[in-house]
Amino acid sequence: MDNLLQVRDAHTFIGQFHILQGVTVNVPQGAITALLGRNGAGKTTTLKTILGLTPPRQGQVIFDGQEIQGRHTFDISALGIGFVPDYRAIFRDLTVAENLQIAERKQGDLARRQELIFGLFPDLKRLIKLRGTQLSGGQQQMLAIARALVAENKLLLIDEPTEGLAPVLIEQMMKAILQLSAETTVLLVEQNFAVATQLAKYYVIVEEGRTVKSGAMPDLLKDEATIHRYLGAA
């Protein structure tokens, strides 16, 4: 089992606050890994640390065999990491088409991938001329994931994809993520424990900025004490 991404003992500060105090994450190639933990545990900061948006002050981030900590965000991303932030970050002034085009890294990326993208999210085809402001929350979430698929990324960092969505849309989103995980490795932050357990093959739990447990998802499901202690779910 090869790890596509490894975060080793990362310490990240935001201002004076020591947010990550030793996060270690292994993301095996070709599967979904769920990053679990309570609100404010440091899950989003972990994703930002990987991308260099909040660079780690200590520790290593190794992607595809090379150390990437300390590099510019655009250099890191260009190595093949797609990002779907929790706030979706759809560009308001751009149309849906432009929101996709902007993610092209090589000319013609979108043309090559549009079959895949519109296969996963047929709705987007209908909305292609609308502006970012005119989309509903679910549509924005689809667009945010679609945008991360335009370039050929080896790894997707997806933050809270089902947050605030209606149950029907959650189903649809889960199907889409499962489908795209067939060809891309995914590191998923998910508050909804039921969703996370159905999607992910591996898990990592962070608590107060530290990795406290990790392993295969089926083992976690048997370990009720851990679930109760760190996730507060049952």
Selection from 136, 104, 141 nearest residue 121 by Cα: 141
Nearest distance from C-beta of residue 90 to another protein, angstroms: 9
91 part of the interface to another protein, by CB under 8 A = yes
130 part of the interface to another protein, by CB under 8 A = no
Residue in 14, 29, 102, 175 binding another protein, rule: CB under 8 A: 102
Selection from 83, 101, 173, 105 nearest residue 137 by Cα: 173
129 part of the interface to another protein, by CB under 8 A = no
* Structural tokens at position 142: 């689809």
Residue closer to another protein, measured from CB, 103 or 205: 103
Stretches 4-12, 90-98, 162-170, 203-211: which one binds another protein (CB under 8 A)? 90-98
Burial 15-30 (b: 16+ CB within 10 A, else e): eeeebbbebbbbbbee
Residue in 72, 112, 125, 126 binding another protein, rule: CB under 8 A: 72
Stretches 79-87, 120-128, 173-181, 184-192: which one binds another protein (CB under 8 A)? 79-87
Nearest distance from C-beta of residue 13 to another protein, angstroms: 13
13 part of the interface to another protein, by CB under 8 A = no
Residue closer to another protein, measured from CB, 87 or 175: 87
Residue closer to another protein, measured from CB, 54 or 214: 54
* Structural tokens at position 178: 């499962």
Which residues make Cβ contacts (< 8 Å) with residue 147, sequence separation at least 6?
A: 82, 84, 99, 100, 102, 103
Nearest distance from C-beta of residue 72 to another protein, angstroms: 8
Rounded Cα distance between 8 and 6, Å, is 6
Which residues make Cβ contacts (< 8 Å) with residue 121, sequence separation at least 6?
A: 142, 143, 145, 146, 176
62 part of the interface to another protein, by CB under 8 A = no
Whether 90 and 122 have beta carbons less than 8 Å apart is answered as no
73 part of the interface to another protein, by CB under 8 A = yes
212 part of the interface to another protein, by CB under 8 A = no
Nearest distance from C-beta of residue 198 to another protein, angstroms: 27
Rounded Cα distance between 155 and 141, Å, is 18
Rounded Cα distance between 51 and 43, Å, is 13
Helix (H) or strand (E) holding 167: helix 167-180
78 part of the interface to another protein, by CB under 8 A = yes
Question: Which residues contact another protein by CB under 8 A?
Answer: 51, 53, 66, 70-75, 77-79, 83, 85, 89, 91-94, 98, 101-103, 105, 147, 151
